[in-house]
Amino acid sequence: MAKILDGKAVAERLRGQLATRIAALDFRPGLVVLRVGEDPASGVYVRNKDKAATAAGFASRTRHLPESTTEAELLAEIAALNADPAVDGILVQLPLPAHIRAEAAIAAVDPAKDVDGFHPINAGRLASGLPGLVPCTPRGAMHLLAEAGASLRGARAVVVGRSQIVGRPMAQLLLAADCTVTIAHSRTRDLPEECRRADILIAAVGRPEMIRGDWVREGAIVIDVGINRLPDGRLVGDVAYAEALPRAAAITPVPGGVGPMTIACLLENTLEAALARRGRRVGV
């Protein structure tokens, strides 16, 4: 039976460690979350980020702009935050209203303050094996692999999904950790067989329970990034959890696996950005 990777507990521990490190600093790292419009799910996310950041000792605030904000106005807002020395991290909450191009907003953030790790400069640094700010969800998944005691060097890792925010950066992090990495996607031929080869299987698809138990190799470590709401209101991952549980060596539940790690890693990125901007050593 698999070890269940308790993301809630790991995230809590990480937030505690960050709070201790921040308490020892002579300044408070600053985080600003920019929200535009009224996407209801964003409201919850933004509040949770703000709450967690404040509790860990960050100077955190949310800047909520009206739905009618133009792209030019948002870019001006981002430019002002880029220039503000008290701001170490800027997060543009997605989705943005349809009349604003997300890629324009992401590219406007100073890469040194891009705590979401979505800026093309940071994506390029990651793909080049250079240090930079790394997207929070894949970073959280790497923490959970460490928690599982996974030995990554030489392991076969299969990442299902190739999005900019999860699949691709996830694959880059695993490659940097010396895994042999396969990236699968909607055009992959024989996905079950690709998955069965995985010592480490990462699901980042967005399709409820698509990955069946018999796609999971005996003894594999399974990280389920997917968060899918069923018509009956239940949340499930991309992996058929009950089927995978007896086969995997370790597995993340949904909810309570990767999800809670994302905010903790946002805070970790913000602290790192704050230290790097001041020329201080970044120790994780």
Which stretches of the chain bind ligand NDP, using CB under 6 A? 137, 160-163, 165-167, 184-188, 191, 204-207, 225-228, 258-259, 262
- Read out DSSP for 214-241? GGSPTT-EEEE---EE-TTS-EE-SB-H
Q: How many CA atoms lie within 13 A of 260 on its CB side?
A: 18
Q: In the complex, which residue's CB is closest to ligand NDP? A: 163
Angle at 242 between CA 219 and CA 202, to 5 degrees: 55
Q: Provide the strand spans (E) within 16-173.
A: 30-36, 59-65, 89-92, 156-160
Radius of gyration (C-alpha) of the chain in whole angstroms: 19
Q: Closest CB to ligand NDP among 151 and 186?
A: 186
Residue 183 marked in a binding site: no
Closest by Cα among 1, 3, 10 to 258:
10
* Least distance to ligand NDP, CB of residue 139, Å: 11
* Least distance to ligand NDP, CB of residue 138, Å: 9
Q: Closest CB to ligand NDP among 87 and 148?
A: 148
* Least distance to ligand NDP, CB of residue 19, Å: 21
Q: Closest CB to ligand NDP among 262 and 269?
A: 262
Q: What residue type is assigned to position 55 of the chain?
A: A
Residue 180: other Cβ atoms inside 10 A: 15
Residue 163 marked in a binding site: yes
Residue 162 marked in a binding site: yes
Active site residues: 49, 93, 116
Residue 247 marked in a binding site: no
Which residue ranges make up the annotated binding site for NADP(+)? 161-163, 227
